[in-house]
């Protein structure tokens, strides 16, 4: 039974990946760092420019460097994501009973049905590895496994800095009578954090990734955006039903309720930081396995297949509410266009200095000097840029005057409406605050450049992009 259900779970994830998967824009940023490291420039976005850590997944990017030596970094990113997803499914199937006393194979099958899992398995980012690491962390904490807690906690921190929060919350499951035993692994994790922080300061002159400056800004609109982010998953992707089933499945068990407290704590963090702009709710993926392990306990043993079938349908991309087919089609088209645009720049403007907000696929395929106008890979914009909290998560900051001061050779505005003409006066309406400047949706740097008198020195650049989905405006001096 276990093997059959696990095989079915793998098949379901594979189907979700085929139907809804795509290689993500932000994954190309990691690929560019890995490729530059393989070329001998170090972990930098732009060789020759001041080094900046524009990635949030240090360990993941370093793991791609060997593959980048032979030009296979993109395939390696997908392969690692697939392997991490399979590892998560296997471990949920075999250890759910240890963690909360639930039937692991059924929990793994329900997890496989959850829409985010399949798409993120092939997206090229660290999300599946973080989800697997979170499960192992919960196991280590519940079993008071000191070595496991130290190793997994350190790896999670190196995968993502907010892995430290996962470690702190996982201690809710540590047996209270043995709390002193947790001090040694926590000290080990602290050593790794200290060494990584020292390395960051030595290489980048900062103690946190530059992405933290560009993305993290606490305000009312940011929290409201985080609430909407979580609410969308709960309502559109069956998360509310999954959570309700997990609450029922928790019963009166203190350990299971501590696991729910872990889920609630990290969910609150996601709200406070404003969620994420990416489709399929990657920040919530690490919480799916513990929720599924509890949810399968919601019904009696004889009704378990029916419980998993109903819940699986509600949390899958096949739910009419999810709108996953239309979302995926748009995302795939957008990425194909960005990749084609990057190749076109490499072909028609080789080595040209480009400034654009699309610092993933466009920068990776253009493979030349690149100014990230959203500031993820530029310290000035990230730390001193103007912030618009009403923008998408991770897209709030910019500095149009600074971008023009750098005198790039190519400006890429957008993504925006293909019919938008940046040189029509009617589209340039200065306003007292950034949020009121037309046209939208353009990011802060783009909007500021459009009302800068120096933009009149620019003209259309003819770049032949071999893709019909035109979302960028190319300008040159």
| Same domain flag for 249 and 331 | no
Answer yes or no: are the C-beta atoms of 246 and 260 closer than 8 Å.
Answer: yes
Percent of the chain with pLDDT over 70: 92
* Average pLDDT of the residues in 158-165: 95
pLDDT score of 436 more than 50:
no
The average confidence (pLDDT) of the chain is 89
| Same domain flag for 253 and 377 | no
pLDDT tens column, 137-153: 999 999 999 999 999 99
Name residues whose C-beta falls within 8 Å of residue 389's C-beta, 6 or more positions apart in sequence: 217, 219, 221, 222, 225, 396
Q: What's the pLDDT score for residue 78?
A: 98
Q: What's the pLDDT score for residue 430?
A: 36
Report DSSP state, residue 412: E
User: pTM of the prediction?
Assistant: 0.92
- Show which of 322, 353, 378 is a domain's final residue: 322
pLDDT score of 127 more than 70:
yes
Exposed, middle or buried: residue 107 (CB in 10 Å: 0-12, 13-18, 19+)? Answer: buried
Q: What's the pLDDT score for residue 433?
A: 33
Answer yes or no: are the C-beta atoms of 67 and 53 closer than 8 Å.
Answer: no
| Same domain flag for 426 and 461 | yes
* Average pLDDT of the residues in 367-386: 94
* Beta-bridge partner residues of 398: 386
| Same domain flag for 277 and 334 | no
| Same domain flag for 406 and 441 | yes
pLDDT tens column, 217-256: 767 888 999 999 999 999 988 999 999 999 999 998 999 9
- Three-state SS for 370-396 is EEECCCCCCHHHHHHCEECCCCCCCCC
Answer yes or no: are the C-beta atoms of 270 and 226 closer than 8 Å.
Answer: yes
pLDDT band at 422; cut points 50, 70, 90: low
| Same domain flag for 230 and 358 | no
Nearest to 289 by CA among 170, 165, 443: 170
pLDDT band at 365; cut points 50, 70, 90: very high
| Same domain flag for 133 and 99 | yes
Domain residue limits at 456: 326-476
The residue that leads in pLDDT, 314 or 126, is 126
Q: What's the pLDDT score for residue 306?
A: 84
| Same domain flag for 30 and 107 | yes
pLDDT score of 402 more than 60:
yes
pLDDT tens column, 62-96: 999 999 999 999 999 999 999 999 999 999 999 99
Q: What's the pLDDT score for residue 470?
A: 64
| Same domain flag for 345 and 274 | no
| Same domain flag for 334 and 269 | no
pLDDT score of 440 more than 60:
no
pLDDT score of 165 more than 50:
yes
Lowest mean per-residue pLDDT among 22-31, 381-390, 409-418: 409-418
> How many CB atoms are closer than 10 A to CB 305?
12
| Domain count across the chain | 2
| Same domain flag for 74 and 118 | yes
- Show which of 300, 322, 344 is a domain's final residue: 322
| Same domain flag for 345 and 215 | no
- Show which of 322, 343, 358 is a domain's final residue: 322
pLDDT tens column, 57-67: 999 999 999 99
pLDDT band at 435; cut points 50, 70, 90: very low
């Amino acid at each position: 039974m276990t093997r059959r259900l696990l095989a079915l779970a793998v098949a379901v994830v594979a189907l979700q990946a085929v139907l809804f998967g795509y290689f993500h824009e932000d994954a190309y940023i990691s690929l560019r760092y890995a490729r530059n490291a393989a070329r001998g420039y170090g972990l930098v976005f732009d060789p020759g420019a001041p080094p900046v850590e524009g990635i949030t997944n240090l360990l993941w990017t370093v793991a791609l460097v060997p593959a980048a030596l032979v030009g296979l970094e993109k395939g390696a990113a997908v392969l690692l994501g697939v392997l991490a997803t399979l590892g998560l499914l296997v471990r949920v199937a075999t250890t759910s009973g240890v963690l909360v006393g639930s039937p692991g194979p059924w929990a793994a099958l329900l997890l496989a049905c959850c829409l985010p899992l399949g798409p993120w398995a092939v997206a090229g980012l660290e999300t599946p590895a973080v989800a697997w690491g979170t499960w192992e962390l919960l196991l280590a904490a519940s079993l008071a496994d000191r070595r496991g807690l130290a190793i997994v906690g350190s790896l999670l921190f190196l995968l993502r800095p907010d892995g430290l929060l996962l470690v702190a919350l996982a201690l809710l499951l540590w047996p209270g009578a043995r709390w002193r035993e947790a001090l040694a692994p926590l000290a080990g994790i602290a050593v790794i954090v200290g060494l990584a922080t020292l390395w960051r300061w030595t290489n980048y002159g900062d103690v946190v990734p530059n992405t933290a400056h560009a993305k993290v800004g606490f305000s009312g609109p940011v929290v409201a955006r985080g609430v909407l982010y979580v609410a969308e998953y709960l309502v559109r992707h069956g998360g509310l039903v999954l959570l309700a089933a997990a609450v029922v499945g928790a019963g009166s068990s203190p350990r299971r309720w501590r696991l729910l407290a872990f889920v609630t704590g990290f969910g609150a963090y996601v709200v406070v930081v404003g969620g994420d702009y990416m489709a399929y709710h990657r920040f919530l993926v690490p919480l799916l396995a513990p929720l599924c392990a509890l949810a399968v306990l919601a019904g009696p043993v004889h009704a378990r297949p029916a419980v998993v079938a109903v819940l699986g349908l509600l949390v899958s991309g096949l739910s009419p509410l999810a709108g996953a087919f239309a979302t995926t089609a748009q995302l795939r088209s957008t990425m194909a266009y960005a990749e084609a645009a990057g190749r076109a720049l490499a072909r028609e403007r080789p080595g040209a200095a480009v400034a654009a907000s699309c610092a993933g696929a466009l920068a990776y395929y253009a493979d030349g000097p690149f100014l990230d106008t959203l500031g993820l890979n530029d310290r000035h914009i990230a730390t001193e840029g103007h912030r618009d909290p009403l923008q998408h998560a991770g897209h709030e900051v910019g500095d149009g005057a600074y971008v023009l001061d750098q005198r790039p050779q190519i400006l890429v505005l957008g993504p925006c409406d293909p019919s938008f003409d940046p040189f029509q006066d009617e589209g340039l309406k200065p306003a007292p605050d950034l949020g009121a400047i037309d046209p939208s949706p353009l990011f802060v740097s783009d909007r500021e450049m459009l009302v800068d008198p120096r933009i009149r020195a620019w003209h259309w650049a003819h770049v032949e992009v071999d893709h019909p989905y035109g979302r960028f405006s190319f300008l040159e001096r």
